[in-house]
Amino acid sequence: MTDKTYKAAIIGCGRVAWLLDKDPLIPNKPCTHAGAYQAVDRTEIVAAADIRADRIHDFSKEYRIDNVYLDYREMLEKESPDIISICAYAPQRFNMVSDAIHAGVKGIWCEKAFATSLSEADEMVRLSEDHGAILIISHMRRWSSAYKLARELISDGVIGEPVSVVTHFSGNMIHTGTHAFDVLRFLFGDASWVQGSLEAFDSTKNLISQDTGGYALICFDSGVYATVHADSKGYFIFEFDIMGTNGRIRIGNWLFELCLAEESRTETGLVELYRKETDLKENNLWIEAVEHLVACMEGKAENISGPSDGMAALEIALAIHESHQNEGRVVGLPLENKTLRVMSR
């Protein structure tokens, strides 16, 4: 019996949808939704939609796909795709996920942050469960061999008991921060409370209109605590410095370093950290994400980046906003305020 080939379509034809694969400096490709679908035998791109005519024209030319649309709802109706990638901005994702599920799409790959509020996120979780749709959130590091190795080293006690993490990233608490908060949950489990402060932003009682940077303290149920430094920077960084009782892991974009405690080589009676080699092998997380989505749709795998995970990462970011609004007080999780919204990209 031949395995089914799934029809895939894309909503939003920007950088993460396909344009990043045209960057000559990026070494490990594919690094986009379209590139991943093209690289996996079980998926075939059949259509795309974008509100910009120039974007769908260029996409059509690049991938030799005639079925392109200015209205994604028309695409859903006419093409009946098996899989949809949602690469539009966050304020549109709730409606797009809802429309795709009601159109009978069974596999959805949604960019992050996958909602603007917890009320939206709750509804997306409910819809996917009620209609039997598999929804994966594009927190890509869950498929990274480096982050999986870090998780294994921590779980196996290689660095002793994890104690603290220093997190640095360039960007905003929602757009970039949800990636970081998902990594922290992937490594250390659920968070119990947060405390934070934001850079200048414009707010009303129930709506924060601007996604911004800042800093935060996050405490996890396991006792690990993380400090987050997300201030505006003139350069890109995305990095975690994980300290354990017997070692340290530094991990980030293009970075993996394991150090373990040993007797000092330079001073008697002192214990210091020394770098160790690892057997880390590079993988393509975009291809793995598509293969994982297909496996979940066929009941062969458990979703490791589902809507509940996406909601939990968003919840941490929103709790930091709430803490800021309340003069930096500690905010417990789960977050009670379901209406707080941040209109991120």
Mean pLDDT computed over 321-328:
93
167 and 256, same domain (yes or no): yes
Q: Does residue 128 carry a pLDDT above 60? A: yes
Contact 336, 322 (CB under 8 A): no
Q: Does residue 205 carry a pLDDT above 50? A: no
State the pLDDT at residue 288. 97
CB atoms within 10 A of CB 265: 8
The CATH number assigned to the domain holding 22 equals 3.40.50.720
Tens digit of pLDDT for each residue in 231-279? 888 999 999 999 999 999 999 999 999 999 999 999 999 999 999 999 9
Mean pLDDT computed over 324-339:
94
238 and 325, same domain (yes or no): yes
| Residue 197: inside a domain | yes
- Cis amide linkage into residue 30, ω under 30° from 0: yes
| Residue 103: inside a domain | yes
State the pLDDT at residue 201. 58
Residue 171 exposure: Cα atoms within 13 Å on the Cβ side:
17
Sheet holding 214-220, edge to edge: 271-276, 255-263, 247-252, 238-244, 162-169, 225-229, 214-220, 191-198, 331-332
State the pLDDT at residue 171. 80
State the pLDDT at residue 173. 94
The CATH number assigned to the domain holding 279 equals 3.30.360.10
Q: Does residue 11 carry a pLDDT above 70? A: yes
Mean pLDDT computed over 150-179:
96
204 Cβ contact list (under 8 Å, min separation 6): none
338 and 291, same domain (yes or no): no
- Whole-number Å distance between alpha carbons of 324 and 345: 21
**Domains identified in the chain, total number:** 2
Q: What is the percentage of the chain residues whose pLDDT exceeds 70?
A: 97
Closest to 324 in 3D by CA, of 223, 200, 236, 220: 200
State the pLDDT at residue 211. 87
**b/e burial code for range 58-93 (CB count within 10 A of at least 16 → b):** bbbeebebebbbeebeebbeebebbbbbbbbebeeb
275 and 294, same domain (yes or no): no
Closest to 144 in 3D by CA, of 309, 271, 305: 305
Return mean pLDDT, the chain. Answer: 94
State the pLDDT at residue 85. 98
152 and 180, same domain (yes or no): yes
Tens digit of pLDDT for each residue in 272-302? 999 999 999 989 999 999 999 999 999 999 9
Instruction: Give the model's confidence band at 2: pLDDT under 50 very low, under 70 low, under 90 confident, else very high.
Output: low
Instruction: Give the model's confidence band at 206: pLDDT under 50 very low, under 70 low, under 90 confident, else very high.
Output: very low
228 and 331, same domain (yes or no): yes
| Residue 208: inside a domain | yes
Q: Residue 160: phi, psi to the nearest 5? A: 80, -155
Instruction: Give the model's confidence band at 209: pLDDT under 50 very low, under 70 low, under 90 confident, else very high.
Output: low
State the pLDDT at residue 231. 86
209 and 106, same domain (yes or no): no
Tens digit of pLDDT for each residue in 42-72? 999 999 999 999 999 999 999 999 999 999 9
Mean pLDDT computed over 104-116:
95
25 Cβ contact list (under 8 Å, min separation 6): none
Mean pLDDT computed over 319-340:
94
126 and 155, same domain (yes or no): no
84 and 29, same domain (yes or no): yes
State the pLDDT at residue 344. 83
Q: Does residue 207 carry a pLDDT above 50? A: no
pTM: 0.95
324 and 297, same domain (yes or no): no
Domain of 115, in residue numbers = 6-140+287-305
196 and 326, same domain (yes or no): yes
324 and 197, same domain (yes or no): yes
| Residue 118: inside a domain | yes
| Residue 40: inside a domain | yes
- Whole-number Å distance between alpha carbons of 155 and 261: 17
| Residue 1: inside a domain | no
Q: Which residue has the tokens 């998780």?
A: 151
* Residues listed for the chain: 345
Q: Does residue 143 carry a pLDDT above 60? A: yes
